[in-house]
């Protein structure tokens, strides 16, 4: 049985492998989720302890009752009505004493998994969000939070339609991809692909592109980093037919 880790508050820290969350977006844009919880392995938790799953992003927050440790039940209503787009939503699982509400165990900052659909996966790796504060800029890669977000000026009109156009996909996305990889390797000097953090996810994604190969190490020279980034952007562009899309433009 896995060892349960306890922090200084006396709460058990639930491993994220024991709390897997999947979010889906319907054809109408409505978001829903499902949580696969394996909490029986934490033997010190009382059978009648209450289990809750919370979804949050900044000030938006929703809570769902998942029954008890001995009887985990998915709620009937799993619609994420507080969120209008799948951008940087996180989840946490809380286990509390049913008598006095004391928090017994928690897992926080759970990143939901995505569907196997490649287009959906891309949107989750680089969430896109409308932003009216960009003034005359059309797009901006936002690194202010732990997750990288591509901001699109919402004052241009239907920005959701804009990000699906051939011009956006072929010209903007490869440049954003290059900026992100350059920041990770050259500015943050992050080379670890095993950490469960956004920077590692980006390196894993890039190294998995056709013809790119293993991500760089901290011992590589700067020109080697640049060559790897260039190879990743080239493969990304080729994979998404960037040149063919440009040739479709009316000149």
The number of folded domains in the chain is 2
Q: How far apart are CA 231 and CA 39, in angstroms?
A: 43
CA angle, 113 then 118 then 123, to 5°: 65
Burial (CB < 10 A; 0-12, 13-18, 19+), residue 125, is middle
Residues 82 and 152 in one domain: no
Please answer whether residues 16 and 195 qualify as being in contact, where contact means their C-beta atoms are separated by less than 8 angstroms.
Answer: no
Tokens of 206: 């890039």
The model's pLDDT over 103-114, given as tens digits with 9 standing for 90+, comes to: 999 999 888 875
The model's pLDDT over 68-99, given as tens digits with 9 standing for 90+, comes to: 999 999 998 899 999 877 667 889 999 999 77
Q: Residue 97 region, left (φ>0) first, then alpha (ψ -120 to 50), else beta?
A: beta
Please answer whether residues 42 and 60 qualify as being in contact, where contact means their C-beta atoms are separated by less than 8 angstroms.
Answer: no
Residues 224 and 132 in one domain: yes
Domain that holds residue 182: 118-247
Q: Final residue of a domain: which of 110, 137, 169?
A: 110
Output the domain CATH number for residue 83.
2.60.40
Handedness of CA 165, 167, 169, 173 (dihedral sign): negative
Query: Minimal CA–CA distance to 241: which of 157, 174, 163, 161?
Result: 174
Residues 83 and 140 in one domain: no
Residues 135 and 100 in one domain: no
Tokens of 45: 């938790």
Burial (CB < 10 A; 0-12, 13-18, 19+), residue 181, is buried
Residues 243 and 131 in one domain: yes
Q: How far apart are CA 57 and CA 182, in angstroms?
A: 27
Is the entire prediction scored with pTM above 0.85?
A: no
Q: Final residue of a domain: which of 110, 141, 165?
A: 110
Q: How far apart are CA 198 and CA 28, in angstroms?
A: 28
Please answer whether residues 24 and 68 qualify as being in contact, where contact means their C-beta atoms are separated by less than 8 angstroms.
Answer: no
What is the per-residue pLDDT for 116? Answer: 42
Positions in the chain short of pLDDT 70: 1-9, 26-29, 86-87, 114-125, 146, 249-251
């Amino acid at each position: 049985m896995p060892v349960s880790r306890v922090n200084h508050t006396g709460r058990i820290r639930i491993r994220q492998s024991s709390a897997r969350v999947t979010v889906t977006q319907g054809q109408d844009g409505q978001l829903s989720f499902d949580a696969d919880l394996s909490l029986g392995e934490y033997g010190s938790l009382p059978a009648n302890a209450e289990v809750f799953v919370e979804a949050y992003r900044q000030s938006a927050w929703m809570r769902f009752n998942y029954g008890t440790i001995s009887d985990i039940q998915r709620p009937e209503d799993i619609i994420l009505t507080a969120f209008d787009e799948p951008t940087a939503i996180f989840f946490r699982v809380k286990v509390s004493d049913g008598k006095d509400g004391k928090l017994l165990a928690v897992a926080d900052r759970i990143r939901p998994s995505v569907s196997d659909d490649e287009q959906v996966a891309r949107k989750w790796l680089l969430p896109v969000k409308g932003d009216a504060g960009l003034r005359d800029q059309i797009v901006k890669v936002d690194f202010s939070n732990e997750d990288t977000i591509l901001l699109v000026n919402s004052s241009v009109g239907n920005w959701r339609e804009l990000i699906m156009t051939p011009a956006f996909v072929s010209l903007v996305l490869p440049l954003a991809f290059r900026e992100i990889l350059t920041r990770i390797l050259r500015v943050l000097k992050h080379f670890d692909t095993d950490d469960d953090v956004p920077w590692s996810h980006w390196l894993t994604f890039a190294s998995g592109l056709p013809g790119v190969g293993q991500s760089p190490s901290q011992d590589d020279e700067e020109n080697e980093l640049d060559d790897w980034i260039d190879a990743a952007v080239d493969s990304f562009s080729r994979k998404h037919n960037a040149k063919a899309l440009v040739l479709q433009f009316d000149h």
